[in-house]
Every structure is written in C-alpha cells, then in structure tokens.
Structure 1
Amino acid sequence: MNDQQLLDLIGQMTREDKIAQLLQLTGAFYEGFHDKELLTGPMEELGVNEAMVNASGSALNLSGARTITEVQQTYLKKNRLGIPLLFMADVVHGFKTIFPIPLAIGCSWNLPLAEKSAEIAARESAVSGIHVTFAPMVDLVRDPRWGRVMESTGEDPHLNSLFARAFVRGYQGDDLKGDKERLASCVKHFAAYGAPEGGREYNTVDMSERNLREYYLPAYKAAIEEGCALVMASFNTVDGIPASGNEKLMRGILRGEWGYDGVVISDWASIREMIAHGVCEDDREAALKAIRAGIDIEMMTPCYVHHLPELLAGGEVDEKLIDEAVLRILQLKEKLGLFENPLRGADPEREREVILCDDHREAAYELAAESCVLLKNNGSLPLSPNAKVALVGPYAESNDILGWWSCAGDKEDAVSLAAALRERMDSSRLTTAGCGIESISSSERDAMFAAASDADVLVVAFGEDVAMSGEGASRTNLQLPKAQLELLQQLAATGKPIAVVLFNGRPLDLTGVFEEADAVLEAWFPGVEGGAAIADLLLGRVNPSGRLSMSFPHSVGQVPVHYNKFNTGRPLTPGHEDERYISKYIDSPNEPLLPFGFGLSYTEFEYGELEISGAKLSRNESLTVQVKVTNTGLRSGIETVQLYIRDLAGEVVRPLRELKDFVRLALKPGETGTAIFTLTEQQLRYHHSDLSFTSDSGAFRVYVGSNSRDTREAGFQLVP
C-alpha cells in the first residue's frame, strides 16, 4: 500500500478503531482468545474489553511460528478492516542463540561481528513470527550501580554510536519488506536513561541540555540516521519532564531537529507512570500529555483507549494527532509487508532449520571469544599444556551464563566452562567442584579444596548471579559476594597460581580479587557458547583481544568514573599526591582501576613514534596520524589501536580525552602493522554554551595508544 491507500484505510476507521491501533498488549490477551476465564483478570485490571483487543495494533512477548500464526489468523477474523497485528519482543542479545550481553559485545570493538549477531537474532526471531525488536539499547552508561549497564555498549558516545549503527544494520538489513528474515529495530531508551541518580532504576535524570546533546544523544541519533524503524521513550525525566510526555524531547528534538518520522512507543506503562512522577493527576491527563508529545503506541496501560475519545470530543486533542500516529503505525506494517503477508516470516519448518544451528553457534562462539577481556596476568595464563588444573567456584559447572534479557534462550543449551575444558583436556588433568554464589556449604568447600590439593593451578570461576544485573537490579555494593571473596583468600593461602574468571553484567569493584589472583579474565555473561570460548582462551588456543568499553572503579565511592572527564582548576598531577588542596580523594586513587579501552594479550605490542602529517589543520583539509605497531611476542594477536583528541582551550570545558577512531590490527609474531587515522575539522566539533555545534581554532593534542591511559601524543593547531 502507498501512503494514499493507507490514508484511505484510515478514512474507513472509526475513532475507536484508530485509538485501538495505539494500544499494545501482552501476548496473554491474544493467546487467550479461546479461554475467557484466562482473560478476565488481565482485562479487568487494565479495563480492556474484547472489542479493544480485537482492534488493537500490536502485541509483545509472543513468539513461536505456530503460536503467532494462530494468533494472527484468529485476530484477522475478528478485526473489521483486516489490519494485521505487529508482534514485538525484547530480542536484546539473541533470540534462541544467545550472544554475549551487549556490554560484552562493546568490549569486542568488533563492529562486523556485532552486526552479524543482530542479523542472526533477527533471522531466528523473524522465522518465529516476531516483527520488531526492542533493541538496540544505546544509553550511555557511566554508573555500574545501574543494573542495565549490561544492555549498553559502554561509556563512550562515539563507540556507542558505531555499535548502534551496526546493530540497526544487522536487524533491519536494507529491505525490510523483501527480506522476511529481518526485524524492524527500536532504539531505546530515549533519552538519557543511562544516567539515573544514584544508579537507581527508573530514577530521575537531571543534566544540562549541553551535556545531554554532547554525550547522551549521539548514539540515538546514529541509530535514527541508520534508519531504525521505532524509538522507545524512556522511563526517566528529562529536564523535569518524563520522556513519555516531553514535547521538547519528542516533537522538538526527535521529530523537529532530526526529522524522524517513524513510530514512537512508550516503555512498559510509562504513560500512566507520569502520575507517580507527579506531572499528571490521572490517566486522562497522562493520555493528553503523551499524545501531544508524540507517543504513538501506549504499551500496557489503557490511558489512550479510555480517555482519547473524550479528549477528542472536548477539543483538547486535535484528531490530526491521532491520524498521524495511526498513519505511522500503518506505514510500519506496510514497510514490513504485513498487508500482503500478515504471517511474514513465521515458518515452523524454517524455524527448525535455523534456530541454534551450527552457523549461529559458531558466530556466538566468535563473539564470546572476542568479548572477554584479560584484566591481569602474571604469567598464569594461558594454562600450561601439562598442568593439573582445578576448576572451582560457582560458575565452574554452571551453564546459567546467558545473562539478563536472554529472550527465548535456555541455559540447558549453553556450554559450561567445565564441559568445554573436559572436551579440550586430558580428563586426568582436570578436577572440578562447584558452589553457591552467595553462600558456600562446608561440603562444597571441602570438595573445592580437595580438587585444589592435587592441582598445579587453580581456575576460579566467580561472579554475580544473573539476576544481580539487568532491569531492576541496581546495587550499592559492586564487590563479589562475601563468600566468594573469603574463598579466594583461602585458596590463595595454598600458594598455588590462581586464574579468576568473572561472570557478571557490570564493572565490579575488584578489591580482594586483584590482590589475590595471578590472572583475571573478564568473561561477562558470554552467551550460549561462552564456556567453549573461555576454555579456548584459558588454554591459549585463542589470544584475548577484548578491550573495556566501560571503566572499572577502585571502589563504588568513585562512581561515576569514566575516562572522558573534565579537568578541574586544581587537578591532581603525578608527584603531587600529598597536596591537600587539589581535586582528589584522600582515601582512594582518582583514576579508575582499569581505564576505558584497556585489555591485555598473551603477546606484546610495541608502538613506534607517533607521526602526524602536519602541525596545522585547516577546516577544509585533513591530517593523517599514524603509528607503527609491532608484535614483539611469540603469539599472533589483535591490537586495538585507539585515537583520542583533546581541545586544550574550548569555549566551554572539554574532556581530557575523547575517542575519535580506532583500528584493529591482526599481527603475527614479529609482524609490524601501521595504524593510519584521518583527522578532520568535523571530528573537533562540540556543543558550545549556546548549543551550536562547531569547533574552535587553537591548540589540540592527539593521543594514540592501547587504551585511554597509555598513549603517545603529538600536537597540532586548528586554523581558520
């Protein structure tokens, strides 16, 4: 259908038909078509009747080709105009083939693999009947107390923007209508949801508009420029107004400045939650503010269906707003080809072929291997080929390693670390013993020490429970559970080398781990093939190449801590730590324990001198920055060479460093590669005090190195 045909369809719709298109309900309402008792509770609770369900526009959290086929066909028999349902789901890091959590994917710095993971997730979801994924989540995150940092790719706006584009490309491809094994993507959470006060879920976000535009909006904008089909409003306030009722944010910036013309959907119940925020007295006012702000679909509350009719009748809402919202929803359905084929990609036979197939698992393995970050190594890794190994700890035998938001994933499909090591080692050289995450019984302790007694090296698999991160999992204590820290201290007393493998969804306070362990491998929640990938890393079959996309603090008292910070008028400089009247903690370092971009390898890389093609950069030209990097070790490896800049004197204060580019060099032992960067004036622009996006003439520094801390530097001038 073209737009005129869609407008003609809207012309045939009653006011109730139109408003029902704006309603999204969970799958229980539709699966229960034949079971009126099942629907009585949810219907009564929301005040939704069967007529509303029969005319509603979209459903969430349903999957399975046969299930969705049945629901769609039943729905179409009852829908007066034959407008198909949209089916949406949280396909965040895989559908059935679960990839590492997004924060881990960010640590891969591998954009093609990230795109491939989204393509595979789309394929599995589409053949199972899903049309839209609530992903990518591109919220900038600087506070690991917030449990949802696991859904983001990290603390840097440039890196997040690149991953946002990669995920959108992977999910959507370039022909949503023709390629029925792709999904429409919904970027979330607009905007700045990653900066809640105190890292507490659903909490207030309060920042300047300049800060919002400079750091928090770029990744959303990148996803929109890449063509994402939907935007989800965030739970939080933006400048004192909840996003779901924020006209400046939604109609001013998103639709006005950026020209976005796609669908905007609320988050779960976020329209009604404006009452609790204290900006609406009741559902009626919430509906009024949300529709004026431009929220097209209301998820799981009935403010629209109950109150838009009276708001229209009273002239408080122009019917044009309703028609615009309905048109955007119908355009999305047309973009997905649902009018021609309401079942789209749902195909039970294809579902059996592709879900968890070997190719998909291989991609999950590759991404897991590249997402792990080697944080410390005193020579204990890789494991010696002839060493006797004791694998102990809560994640030794556990296959519960998928992480939060694992959609249709099943931990029974995951490869545990113990199973993977058994496949790769002589069983006589491996003993294993597990334990609880937050408490350890005496029998578990005895079994672990018995395993350790005859071992040459201990691999200790520690971490958070899956439910300790993700939505609704804010924490004030970022350390491992006390029982694990005590166990590690006791194991260290044996004097045997210890390699700790961490399974977690956020940067941790590693006090008590770094001191005791000889090696630390950050595995995150690595997905369905995580055990296999980690085993190959431990055994040296794969060389670690991950680099942190979020800084690790020394302690929670430093939080938020991030690399691209501002300087102060009294900065702490090396050699002056004893001075009192400078910007510092008196009981902790100021810098993070592990900085953004950090990661070790089993080989060594030596950087040559930094070369820059000129001392001046004009606004219509470019500079070339390059450095030679040599693999001086004995193993092949990947070095992620990172380029940062600093504006030494901006109109407003500028960060000490900002990531602008990176190159991943794959080098064999003894091989030298050259990382070449092109620097332009456009990369030096930022938001000034009047919110103009321009650059300043003057002095700049450029830094190139293996992370945001360890770099070589040079200078140049930006000239008019």
Structure 2
Amino acid sequence: MKTLCLFGLIAASLVLPALAAGEPAVLHDKSVFVEQLLKRMTLQEKIGQLRLISIGGDMPKERLAEELTAGNVGGTFNSVTRHDNRPLQEAALRSRLQIPIFFAYDVVHGHRTIFPIGLGLASSWDMRAVATAGRIAAIEASADGLDMTFAPMVDITRDPRWGRTSEGFGEDPYLVSEIARTMVKAYQGESLGNADSLMASVKHFALYGAVEGGRDYNVVDMSPQRMHQDYLPPYRAAVDAGAGSVMVALNTINGVPASANRWLLRDLLRDDWGFSGVTISDHGAITELLRHGVAADGREAARLAIAAGLDMSMADSLYGEHLAELVGAGEVPMQTIDQAVREVLGAKYDLGLFHDPFRRIGQASDDPHDVNAESRLHRQAAREVARQSLVLLENQNQVLPLDKSARIALVGPLADSHIDMLGSWSAAGVASQTVTLRQAMQQALGTDGQLLHARGANITNDKQMVEYLNFLNWDNPEVVQDPRSAEEMIAEAVAAAERADVIVAAVGESRGMSHESSSRTSLQIPASQQALLRALKETGKPLVLVLMNGRPLNLTWAQGNADAVLETWFSGTEGGHAIADVLFGDFNPSGKSPISFPRSVGQIPTYYNHPRLGRPFTEGKPGNYTSQYFEEPNGPLYPFGYGLSYTEFSLSPPRLSAEVLSRGQRLEVSVTLKNTGERDGATVVQLYIHDEAASLVRSVKELKGFRKVWLKAGEEQQVRFDISEDELKFFDAQLEQVAEAGMFEVQVGLDSRSVQTQRFELR
C-alpha cells in the first residue's frame, strides 16, 4: 500500500511530491496548486483528465487500469463499492503525476436507501423532506467511495409522454428551483471536501424536458424569452447554490446541439451566470454530433465540443483520439485545453482528493462485510419522506382511511412487485429490500383484519411492449408475465373482491415504462389493467386505486368510477409501509401534485402557468371562437398544486399590508389557514402572482411562494408572504429582467385553480 502511505505524507506536508522538484505547490492555495500542477502536465496527460470512462461499459477493467496508470483517464462512473474503486484509484496514483481520479454515479433519488422518484419528492412540497433524501443519499454514496452524482435532474417537464418526467420535479420553475437549491446543498453538505459529501452535477443542461412531442433525445425549438422565463431558472438556481458540475444535455437547442453550443456553455453558463465548475457531456454525446449532422467526422466533433466549453467527455473516445492532433494543427488553442483541465483539477481539489485520494474509499480493513447489509439502510427516514410524497386525488364518501378490522381484497400487478417500488434510476438499491404494498398491508392488519390477494392482471399483455421493457434485462427480466389467461386472472380477482368489504387495486406502470427512452404515445393505464378495473367496479364493492407510475396518467375513468384514488408515484424502499400508513389513516396525506394531470393525451401540453390569450376559454361561458377543445371539458383533470387530506381546511381571503408597492420596499400578504376538520393534518398554502398588463404577454399566473403548514384539528394559523419587485420581474424583449409598473393580482389557494385574490399596484 505504498500509495496510501505516500498520500498520507501529502496530507501531512501539504506538498505534492510530484511537484517537489519544481516550485512547491501548497495544497491550501487552490489556484496556485492547480496552476503549478498544470505546468507540469504533458498534453497527453491534460487530455487524459478530460476523459470520463464507464467502468465495464466503455472498456474492460484490465485495460482501464492500464489507462489510469498511463494518466489517460480523469474519472470513472458506474462502480459503486469501495472494494472496486480502491484498485482503480491505486492505478491512477501510479501515473507519473499521481493525479487521483473521481468516481461518479447516477444517485438521483437515493443510493442504497431509495426515496420516492423526483415527482414524488416534489409532491411533498417540503424542503426538509427533500433535503433529508439528498443528504442521506450523499452519506450512503460517499460511504461506498463515490465522489460525484449526476443529479439533481431539474428539467422542467410539461409533456408527460416524456419517459424522464419521472426523474424531475414537475412543471413549475419556482418549485423546481427551490428543490434544485435544496438538493445541491444536501448532496454537497457543509463542504465538498468532507468525506460524506458528493459533488452535484446538475442535469440536463439545458431544456431537455421540452423535447418535441415528449420523445426522448428529440429537438428543442424555443424562444429566448421562454427559455429564460420558464426553463432556465432551475439550472441557474443549482449553479447559484454552488453545484460543482453541470451535465450537458443530449438535445439540440434551436438547431445547435447542447454539446456544441458555445452560447449555452460559455456565454450563458460561464460569462452570465459565473459558473466556475466542470462541465460533463452526457453519455456518448460528442460522438452523437456526427448523427446530429453538425460534424463531418470524429475530429470535427471533438473540436466543436471542446471549443464550445465541454470539459469532460463521458464515455470518451473522440477527445482521446483527436485533441492532441487538433492542438498540434492549431485548430484548438492550448489555452482551451488548459482551461478545461483547470476545471477538472479544481473539482478534484474541492472534493479533497489531492489532500487524500482515499477520502471516501477509506482503508480496506474498514470495508463493509456486506455492502447490502440491512444496517446500511435508512428505513425510517425513507418511510417518513415517502409518506409526505403521496397525493390523495379522490376520496368519495370518506372511503379512506380503511378500517384495520376489514376484509380487504388487494389486487393488481403492482401490489407485490419489489422492483417497481424502486422506480427509475434507483442507483444501488436492492429490489428485495423494498417493502411491497402487500407486505405492508398484511403487517398493518395483523390479526384484526384479513387481506385477500390476487394478481388480477399482468402489467400489459402487449408482447412487443414486454420485450422492449425487458430488452436490457433478459437474464433477469423486470416484467414477468403470469402465464394464466387474462380471463382466469380477472376471475380470481373478482372472486376475492366479492368476499371483501373493500377493494384496493394497485395499478399503473412498471418502472421501465417511465424511464429514459420510454416515451409513450398514450397516457392510459395499460388495457390489461383497465379490463381488471372494469370487472372490479362491477362487483359494487368500494374501489380504492393505488397508482404507481412515473408520469401523470389519464385518470378520467378513475375519477368517475373509483371511490378513492391515491397517487403514490414510485415511492422507494419503504414505499409499501408509507402507502399503508396513509391507507389506514396512520398518516394524513398532505402531498400536492407538482404537475398537471391532463384529461387526455390530446390536451398536452397542459400546464397551469400558460401565457395569456386574446380569446381565452372561460369556464361556464360559450366556447365558440375561444381557445378550447370542444370534445371534452377544458383544463386539467387535476391541477398543479392539487391534493386532498383526511381533514378539511379553510383559507381566508388574502390581506395586503398596502395597496401600493414602492420599489425597494416589501408588501406583506397574509391569510388565515384553519383546520376545520376532525383530524390533525398538513396542507400547502400557495401564493401566485398575476401581472395584469405588461410589455410582453405574461403567464396567467406564476407560483411565487408556498408554505407547508401542519395544524391540529380546529387549529388556525396566520400564514405570511413577502412580495418585493423581485417577485414581479420577468424577461422582456431585450432579455432584461424587469419589473414593470402597473397592477398585479395576488392569488392564494390550496391549489393553482381554487384561489382567492387581492390587487396591488407597483409604482
């Protein structure tokens, strides 16, 4: 373990041995240290720092170790144990300059303990819950030797056909920005140099959630005003929160791929926003410049990417093959290479890797005996966060909460599916460690009630769809078909329902249906499950739907036929217990949807903060010659910010501290929230602003504040918001952020649709 001893000496002396022959580089001075190391590097060593290699994917481990020793790799990803990472770091430290590598992974909503998917975390509207998920993810991932996470994913999503809707935090720039800030700080902790911190690589920069038609990897064509007003704020929030890295998106932006977009990566990100961290391509994105048609060959693709400001090439071949030649030919200045390397070295410095390359890997004697040991999980925190993420959409005649002495028929293909509880991008989560709904309900009922279980249906009976979902997992398929006929399975489920007091149907999507490259043309629950639900409805028994899905689904049938609907998204390791806690009333649901539920796919995009129109449709008035669809009711089925509780809340009309807001001053908005029901519970008070007249068409309303408030039955509380001109600003035709004088409407409600208003003037 010579390298371990060597770097122990580094920490003690604060001098890098490889630089001792020249002017010493003092470790406590980042800029001096990086510059002196840069001076010692050959061009080939510099290029090596710009290459991010997938362990086992891009090259076998044996060759990777050779490349590391030669100084040809700057970082790796997809290795998630200290045992695997240690020899790779040791190989890197055998290189001439002994520059350590960093280890990265997609830790998106938990590492070993899996928390709810992004839409679920956003549904909590509780930044403490979000921070808990991020901090625990960082603690667990860093304990496995990881240094960086490709997260948070903060793409604004207004087309639920997009499979990656599941990863993000919804449709609203204000809410997503708040979560972006929270997640970055939770991952990175008090200091990036701490052993329990991960560097956040915010993704996907930029506008990836706006791909045309909701089809993954598609084009984005968007006005500058919409970019700056609606889609860019969450990335800016993450950068302002100190994110050490940015992952660059795969899509084009107004005809220019993000990976070759100098305006995006240099003018906007670095010059305007002041970002000084490292930029990383998405997987294989530089090679894809050829397929985009902006590069004739790999050499040109490498030149375009590095010139645009793309520091590290993920799954690289082209930087390694062509950058040296490009520099030699004078087509890429050495200064461009140096600046990219400077950012990579700076990231490693901030992570503390030059002080101790094994800061997160530790010593072999301290490795966990079992990396999947139960003791390494944070189950209680996962259960608490998951409970906050559940959204009660319907509860007719208070069918919920359920009685623990009841006889309950639990049916549906997701009722006992361990792997689907995890959701997409579940890092090192182990399916067998999840708690399914069947397990949790059985435990909650104990001996008082009875649980009758029947599968009832497959996720889908579409053979082609099953083959697609299992394409990457043929050895261990995620979607396992019950060989019985659909009729036989439904008959079994109906028989169980007829013996029960109430039916709980766990239906929706498999996790692979809401994933990267899993865009859909339909938002319907698959036909096999629809047939099951119709048969269950015919029994006449109360029907409770527990939805598991990674996007808003078409729930028009559910709204009209189910007695209760609980949206649970994919709720993670402790999801089953969290859902059971809500179903049986041990926890009062308080989640609010961070995304609108359209009535049909034809309504997409459906989002609450759409621009104003000259001929708007008005509910209750004739629709002719207004902007509307005439076949079905207009507006979302469930609006942004919507979610029910087992108690009732009343909200007073908003009160303003003044009718005029002067620039440089603040105006207070206050409301009285009262729990008028018989149960303790929480809800989210939401503040929206409507600009009545401006130099550009503005949104009908914009979220500008929210408070999650817990009240005992009968209790009331004053809820206050401050408004300054900052909350009134927008990007004008010159892309200047301005607050224009005029009248504004304050809207306060418990969702975006049902609000009460007051007006004030900005002077």
TM-score (norm. length: structure 1): 0.95
Asked if the contact 2:686/2:751 (under 8 Å) is kept, the reply is yes
Q: 2:445 aligns with which of 410, 420, 425?
A: 425
Shift of residue 629, structure 1, vs aligned partner: 1.2
Partner Cα distance (2:727, 2:61) in 1: 55
Alignment of 1:568-717 (within 5 A): 568-577=613-622, 579-717=623-761
Q: Distance in 2 between matches of 1:127 and 1:488?
A: 45
Give, in whole Å, the separation in 1 of the partners of 2:321 and 2:266: 24
Q: Which residue of 1 aligns with 2:12?
A: none
Partner of residue 245, structure 1: 260
Aligned with 1:543 (options 575, 588, 602): 588
Deviation of the 1:265 alpha carbon: 0.5
Alpha-carbon separation, structure 2, partners of 1:711 and 1:210:
27
SS of the equivalent of 2:561 reads: coil
CA distance in 1: counterparts of 2:555 and 2:381, whole angstroms: 30
Q: Partner of 2:482 in structure 1?
A: none
Q: Specify the alignment match of 2:133 in structure 1.
A: 117
Does the aligned pair in 2 maintain the 1:502–1:524 contact within 8 Å? yes
AA paired with 1:497?
P
Query: 1:223-245, CA deviations, whole angstroms, 9 ceiling, x for partnerless residues?
Result: 01110000011001112110111
Please tell me whether the aligned partners of residues 653 and 757 of structure 2 are also in contact (alpha carbons under 8 angstroms).
Answer: no
Residue among 388, 412, 415 paired with 1:396: 415
**1:73-107 deviation digits (Å, cap 9, x = unpaired):** 13322x12111111111000111100000111000
Distance 1:260 1:283, change over 3 A: same
CA contact (8 A) 1:230 1:265 kept: yes
Alignment of 1:462-611 (within 5 A): 462-577=507-622, 579-611=623-655
The equivalent residue for 2:221 is 206
CA distance in 2, matches of 1:548, 1:358: 31
Once the two structures are superposed, residues 657-707 of structure 1 have per-residue CA deviations (whole angstroms, 9 ceiling, x without a partner) of: 100001111011110111111111110000001111001111110000100
Structure 2 contact 69–91 (Cα < 8 Å) conserved: no
* Distance in 2 of aligned mates of 1:551 and 1:170: 27
C-alpha contact (below 8 Å) 2:656/2:669 kept by paired residues? yes
Measured after TM superposition, the shift of residue 271 of structure 1 is 1.0
Counterpart of 2:46 in structure 1 is 18
1:110 counterpart letter in structure 2: D
Q: In the alignment, is residue 59 of structure 1 matched against residue 76 of structure 2?
A: yes
Report which stretch shifted further, 435-444 or 267-276.
435-444
In the aligned structure 2, how far is the partner of 1:354 from the partner of 1:611? 54
Kept in 2: contact 1:107–1:372 (CA 8 A): yes
With over 3 angstroms needed to count, the CA separation of the structure-2 counterparts of 1:51 and 1:423, relative to structure 1, is closer
> TM-score w.r.t. structure 2 length?
0.90
SS of the residue 1:374 aligns to = strand
Counterparts in 2 of 1:340 and 1:138: CA distance versus 1, 3 Å: same
Tell me the distance in 1 between the aligned counterparts of 2:394 and 2:115: 24
Contact 1:617/1:623 (<8 A) preserved: yes
CA distance in 2, matches of 1:609, 1:706: 12
Distance 1:198 1:610, change over 3 A: same
Give the structure 2 partner of residue 409 of structure 1.
429
- Trace 1:298-337 onto structure 2 (pairs within 5 A): 298-337=313-352
1 CA distance for matches of 2:599 and 2:661? 39
What is the aligned-residue identity percentage? 44
* Corresponding position of 1:438: 460
Q: Distance in 1 between matches of 2:98 and 2:155?
A: 37
Report the counterpart of residue 474 of structure 2 in structure 1.
none
Q: 2:387 aligns with which of 340, 346, 369?
A: 369
Aligned to 1:172: 188
Deviation at 1:359, TM superposition (A): 7.1
Consecutive unaligned residues in structure 1, runs of 5 or more:
44-48
Displacement of 1:353 in angstroms is 9.1
Structure 1 residue 350 displacement after superposition: 6.5
Q: Report the 3-state secondary structure (helix = DSSP H, G, I; strand = E; otherwise coil) of the residue aligned with 1:489.
A: helix
* Residue pair 1:127, 1:350 contacting (<8 A) in 2 also: no
Q: Is the 8 A contact 1:142 1:154 kept in 2?
A: yes
Number of aligned positions between the proteins: 705
- Residues 98-143 of structure 1 show CA distances to partners (whole Å, capped at 9, x for unaligned) of 0000111000001011111111111111110110000001011100
1:611–1:627 CA contact under 8 A, matched in 2: yes
Matched, 1:99 2:121: no
2:239 alignment partner AA: I
1:340-371 Cα deviation digits (max 9, x unpaired) = 21111124647569975487211111111000
Residues of 1 paired with 2:223 and 2:633: CA distance? 28
Contact 2:405 2:445 in 1 (8 A): no
1:51-83 deviation line (CA, Å, top 9, x unaligned): 797421010111101111122113322x12111
Q: Counterparts of 1:123-202 in structure 2 under 5 Å?
A: 123-177=139-193, 179-202=194-217
TM-superposed deviation, 1:50: 4.2
Change (3 A) 1:552 1:431: same
SS at 1:281 equivalent? coil
Determine helix, strand or coil for the equivalent of 1:650. coil
Is 1:71 the counterpart of 2:81? The answer is no
Cα separation, partners in 2 of 1:127 and 1:359, compared to 1, 3 Å: closer
Q: 3-state SS of the aligned residue for 1:515?
A: helix
Q: Name the CA distance, whole Å, in 2 between partners of 1:465 and 1:169.
A: 31
CA distance, structure 2, for counterparts of residue 512 and residue 703 of structure 1:
31
Give a deviation string over 1:229-275, Cα, whole Å, max 9, x none. 00011001112110111001110000000111110000001111111
2: CA distance, partners of 1:660 / 1:241 = 32
The whole-number CA distance in structure 2 between the counterparts of 1:610 and 1:5 is 56
Please give the alpha-carbon distance, in whole angstroms, between the structure 1 residues aligned to 2:742 and 2:367.
59
Deviation of 1:384 after TM superposition, in Å, equals 2.5
C-alpha displacement of 1:336: 1.0
Cα offset, 1:590, TM superposition: 2.4
CA separation of 1:701 and 1:184: change in aligned 2, threshold 3 A: same
Q: In 1, Cα distance between the equivalents of 2:324 and 2:488?
A: 65
> SS at 1:501's partner residue?
strand
Are 2:354 and 1:339 equivalent residues in the alignment?
Answer: yes
Q: Is the 8 A contact 1:21 1:55 kept in 2?
A: yes
Aligned to 1:295: 310
Describe the SS at the equivalent of 1:73: helix
Q: C-alpha displacement at 1:443, in angstroms?
A: 3.5
Instruction: Determine the C-alpha separation between the residues in 2 that align with 1:607 and 1:356.
Output: 44
Contact 1:150 1:505 in 2 (8 A): yes
- Alpha carbons 1:30, 1:71 under 8 Å: kept: no
Distance (Å, rounded) in 2 between the aligned partners of 1:551 and 1:480: 17
